[in-house]
A and B are shown apart, each in its own frame.
Chain A
Amino acid sequence: MHDVIKEPQPQTDWAKIRADFPILNQEVHGHPLVYLDNAATSQKPRSVIEALKHYYEYDNSNVHRGIHELSNRATAAYEGARERTVKYINARSSKEIIFTRGTTEGINLVAQAWGTKHLKAGDKILLTELEHHSNIVPWQLLAARTGAQLVYIPVTGDEGLLDLSQLDQLLTKEVKIFAFGHISNSMGTINPIKEFCARARELGVITLVDAAQSAGHCPLDVQDIGCDFMAFSGHKMCGPTGIGILYGREEILEDTPPYQGGGEMISRVQFFETKWNVLPHKFEAGTPDISGAIGLHAAMDYVDSVGRENIFKHDQELASYACSRLAELGHVRIFGPPLGGTPGHPHSERGGLVSFLLPEVHAHDVVTMADQFGVALRGGHHCTQPLMRKLGIQSTARASFYFYNTREEVDRMIDAVAKIHEFFSRGL
């Protein structure tokens, strides 16, 4: 993966890093907390919590139009967060960085503002069967508005890989936008996003990368990836909830009408017409989440101080370890790319999560019992209902890792899963 920010730390002190997260130091149901629900949201380091506190205690004010000192500070901090994001994903300029509420809003912005202008009946929208609901439903709404048609790259099976042999057939000139996740939140699959973007570009197809599961876990370089849009959330990468980023290539954003109307996004308002503000403010109507942006800035600094390549390796090692320990238990159905690769699939790497099912035990029951042992998992369809239905299941239990998790925590999870299996096997 391409390196954006210099990766330090020849030797990482993971225990010291873990101590930066106050919330992890607690007991749940009489056991030390093992937090393995990071794909849903990550925990926050002290530096992020302090940045929010400092802002509200010293600098709180509205941005951009104020002339007084506090407004200057708030504006500088808010725009500073935008500049930090430019570096974080190697965008060309801050005009390409739009603050949103999160990945979902970013995708909705593209589907509504860009999509409504550029799509018409007969056009195609290409997605994959791995997508999260947030990368399906906005496109369904767009299709209903415009008469465009949805097309999906199929998933092969439990291994959660996309059937790339169909890519040439599906990615055609009729496709106006190709939107796909970088790392699947329910299978852990890492998709070949750079290849997707290159193939799309040859045909003039616009691309959107849903980077919700990768932005805090691996280096991202939008110029190297070659995408037109990228959306991600702050809260899955140590930042606060309610703030996210939409990256858009400048010339495409210029050719996109506003998403919402209001203050901030205008340059001149008359009673019957309005001239839009310049990028990126055209897409930020109303008072933004200023503290959220400041918290996200602190989160990016924190994540990069640990090092994203470092984090990626750490998450992957934990996921591999969890997969092999689950396999040792026998009778566990494990989803996602198998360890050691899949023949015929050059792109079969797994990110830092593992979805699984025990025979005869519903995922909700697994998660409720694991919680009694202090182990926080997630059970459900993970907002990927169409994928679940295709695999003939309703739900899975999922453990998702971050850099503060340890092998001992994986062992604790395995112990819990073994006990759960034993408990539910009684009387069978």
Chain B
Amino acid sequence: MDFEELYQQVILDHSRRPRNFGELPGADVDIQADNPTCGDEIELHLKFGADDKIEGVSFTGSGCSICMASASMMTQKLKKKSRAESSALMHTFHDMLTSEQETEPPAALGDLGLLKGVRKFPLRVKCATLAWHALEQALETKPASSGEGA
């Protein structure tokens, strides 16, 4: 059944034991994303290094298994990525969930490719992309350390 693809063990494991879960002291950006249809809330915390690459990342909040697993796996992929690389990853992930045809998930996504089954559950795409909406907003902000003239 489709739900066995949706709820694979790796996904359930991430939802039960989310990685990078908790506050991030000294974060440059803390951005919350809400899913008003179900009340799920994810807050993403990012710290950028001197090279403007993501140095630290964590998340807090709560949501369904798809939402939590997606957030958890996303944070694992973001470390050491530039803003442009993070943005590209976000678009690749989004395309996988909204493509008309089922395709092999791009290798760049790693374990995130396991969420490809969400495609078949259009009402759950919002769950899988909640943390990514926070990321999208976070990437648009300028870190405080960038200062004037940056």
How far is it, in angstroms, between the C-alpha of A379 and the C-alpha of B65 when the chains are bound? Answer: 13
CB distance from B64 to the nearest CB of A (A): 4
Cβ contact of A424, chosen from B2, B12, B62, B63, cutoff 8 A: B12
| Closest B residue to A420 using CB positions | B3
Q: Are B9 and A380 in contact, CB atoms less than 8 angstroms apart? A: no
How far is it, in angstroms, between the C-alpha of A381 and the C-alpha of B41 when the chains are bound? Answer: 12
List B contacts of A424 (CB < 8 A): 7, 12, 65
| Closest A residue to B121 using CB positions | A368
List B contacts of A428 (CB < 8 A): 16
CB distance from B3 to the nearest CB of A (A): 5
Restricting to B1-19, which residues have a CB under 8 Å from any CB of A? 1-3, 6-7, 9, 12-13, 16
Q: Are A427 and B6 in contact, CB atoms less than 8 angstroms apart? A: no
Q: Are A365 and B38 in contact, CB atoms less than 8 angstroms apart? A: no
**Interface residues on chain A, number (Cβ under 8 Å):** 21
Q: Are A364 and B7 in contact, CB atoms less than 8 angstroms apart? A: no
How far is it, in angstroms, between the C-alpha of A52 and the C-alpha of B63 when the chains are bound? Answer: 41
Q: Are B63 and A362 in contact, CB atoms less than 8 angstroms apart? A: yes
Q: Are B38 and A380 in contact, CB atoms less than 8 angstroms apart? A: yes
A377 within 8 A of B: no
Q: Which of A363, A368, A379, A394 has the most CB of B within 10 A?
A: A368
Known contacts A369-B3, A372-B2, A427-B9; A362 and B65 CB within 8 A of each other: yes
Q: Are A385 and B39 in contact, CB atoms less than 8 angstroms apart? A: yes
| Closest B residue to A381 using CB positions | B39
Q: Are B37 and A365 in contact, CB atoms less than 8 angstroms apart? A: no
How far is it, in angstroms, between the C-alpha of A424 and the C-alpha of B8 when the chains are bound? Answer: 10
A395 within 8 A of B: yes
Q: Which of B7, B63, B67 has the most CB of A within 10 A?
A: B7
A360 within 8 A of B: yes
How far is it, in angstroms, between the C-alpha of A360 and the C-alpha of B2 when the chains are bound? Answer: 21
How far is it, in angstroms, between the C-alpha of A33 and the C-alpha of B33 when the chains are bound? Answer: 34
Question: With A363-B64, A424-B65 given, can you name 6 additional A-B contacts, CB distance below 8 Å?
Answer: A362-B67, A368-B123, A423-B7, A424-B7, A424-B12, A426-B12
